[in-house]
Amino acid sequence: MGIYSKYCFPYIMDLALSSNAIARYRQNLLLSVKGDILEIGFGTGLNVANYPKSTKKIVTIDSNEGMNSLAKKRIQTSKIEVEHHTLTAETLPFADQTFDTVVSTWTLCSISNVDQALVEIYRVLKVGGQFLFLEHGLSNEKNVQVWQNRLNSLEKIIADGCHLNRHITNLVAKQPWQISEEKQFYISGVPKILGYMYQGVAIKKFDKKQIG
């Protein structure tokens, strides 16, 4: 991991995603968490303050160890127990059907092998469990898509692997979920190439092994 990724980018990302407007979207997504919870892409811990008061514990992962110093400060001021692991989402060290809820906020854009990560998320969810996602990605406007594609390579350098042009719902739908909720929208006050959002809930209806 380079110096920029470890020591600079965590502060940039924290500043970009810590507004009150974005916090409201986090709170709305996290209202429906239940049971044993895994959060992928924990980052600097911005979600901690937005979990419902009834949340007792979350298990979290992030591949960037440089995020930890900022995350620890938020963990220390929270009543939620956080079991944190520094690792990638492509290979999760958890047994099949471990979690009732998996949460991803502004993370699927940056995972190198996002398809494999979603396979792993599906695997570790219990049958009936839910995958809650809030991500930015490919706009539904052709003229915006043009610039997202043009600037994607630069974005990956500046934002530590982040892609501007991933169609999040299509990626999630490759797994046999039931997508019970899904909406796409722009966040106001954010440039369109960065501000097109996907928010949804995907339910695991059965174990893949049952149809293997």
Q: Average per-residue pLDDT in the chain?
A: 95
Residue 10: pLDDT above 90? yes
Residue 191: pLDDT above 70? yes
Residue 210: pLDDT above 70? no
* Residue 190 domain flag: yes
Tokens of 88: 């990638």
Tokens of 19: 């507004």
* Residue 53 domain flag: yes
pLDDT one-digit tens code per residue, 34-56: 999 999 999 999 999 999 999 99
Please work out, in degrees rounded to the nearest 5, the angle formed at the alpha carbon of residue 175 by the alpha carbons of 39 and 97. 50
Q: What is the mean pLDDT of residues 93-105?
A: 98
* Residue 184 domain flag: yes
Residue 211: pLDDT above 60? no
Domain count across the chain: 1
* Residue 169 domain flag: yes
Q: Strands 177-186 and 196-204, how do they pair?
A: antiparallel
Residue 139: pLDDT above 60? yes
* Residue 80 domain flag: yes
Domain residues for 179? 3-205
* Residue 210 domain flag: no
Q: What is the mean pLDDT of residues 22-26?
A: 95
Residue 208: pLDDT above 80? no
Q: What is the mean pLDDT of residues 63-88?
A: 94
Least confident span in 24-28, 39-43, 186-190: 186-190
Q: What is the mean pLDDT of residues 1-25?
A: 92
Which CATH number covers residue 117?
3.40.50.150
Phi, psi for 68 (deg, rounded to 5): -65, -35
Q: What is the mean pLDDT of residues 75-99?
A: 96
* Residue 212 domain flag: no
- Looking at residue 123, its pLDDT comes to 97
Which residues 6+ apart lie within 8 Å of 39 measured at CB? 47, 58, 59, 60, 61, 102, 103, 104, 105
Between residues 103 and 209, the one the model is more confident about: 103
pLDDT one-digit tens code per residue, 115-125: 999 999 999 99
* Residue 211 domain flag: no
CB 89 within 8 A of CB 61: yes
Beginning with the edge strand found earlier in the chain, give each strand of the sheet holding 99-105 in spatial order. Answer: 81-86, 57-62, 37-40, 99-105, 125-136, 196-204, 177-186
Residue 198: pLDDT above 70? yes
